[in-house]
Amino acid sequence: MHLLPRVLGAITAAYSIVITARPEVLARPCGLTGPTGEASAAVRTLIGGIGARDTAIGAAMVLAPYGPALRAAVAARVFSDAADAVVFGLQLPEVGRRPRIAGFALFWAALCAWSGRWASGPRVPAAVGAVRTAVAR
C-alpha cells in the first residue's frame, strides 16, 4: 500500500493532462458546455488552469521522496480537491449536477488523504529497525 500515493498521483496527472488537452472531458459532466457539446473559451481557459495545477500536484505525488515532500504533495492534492468540491458544489450553473460533482471531488480528496498514511514510505518492522540500528553502531 505504500505505493498508493504514487498511484493516485499518476492517475491525477494523467487525467489532468487529458482535461488540459480536451476540456470538454470535465466541462460536460459539470454542465459547462454549450448546445453543441463544446466548452466556451472562458471555460476552456479555467479548465486548462485546473489541469495544469493538478498535473503538477500529481507529478509531485509521483516524484517526491517519501517523507515531508510527499506528505506536502498529498496535502496539496487533498486541499485542491476539497476546494473544488466547495466551489463546484456551490457554484455550478445546474444545481442538479452539484452534489454528484462535489461528491466525486470529496471522494478523491478522502482517498488521497487516506493514502497519506503511506507518504512516509514503506514501514520497516521493529525487529529489522533494531538490527539496522545495532549494525550501524
| Among candidate residues 5, 36, 37, the one with its CA nearest the CA of residue 24 | 37
pLDDT tens for 35-92 read 999 999 999 999 999 999 999 999 999 999 999 999 999 999 999 999 999 999 999 9
Going by C-beta distance under 8 Å and a sequence separation of 6 or more, which residues neighbour residue 122? 2, 66
pLDDT at 13: 98
C-beta of residue 1 within 8 angstroms of C-beta of residue 120: no
**Identity of the amino acid at 16:** S
Q: Could you tell me the pLDDT band of residue 1, with boundaries at 50, 70 and 90?
A: confident
| Among candidate residues 16, 19, 13, the one with its CA nearest the CA of residue 32 | 19
Cα-based angle 105, 13, 82 (whole degrees, multiple of 5): 20
Instruction: Please tell me the distance from the alpha carbon of residue 136 to that of residue 88, in angstroms, as a whole number.
Output: 53
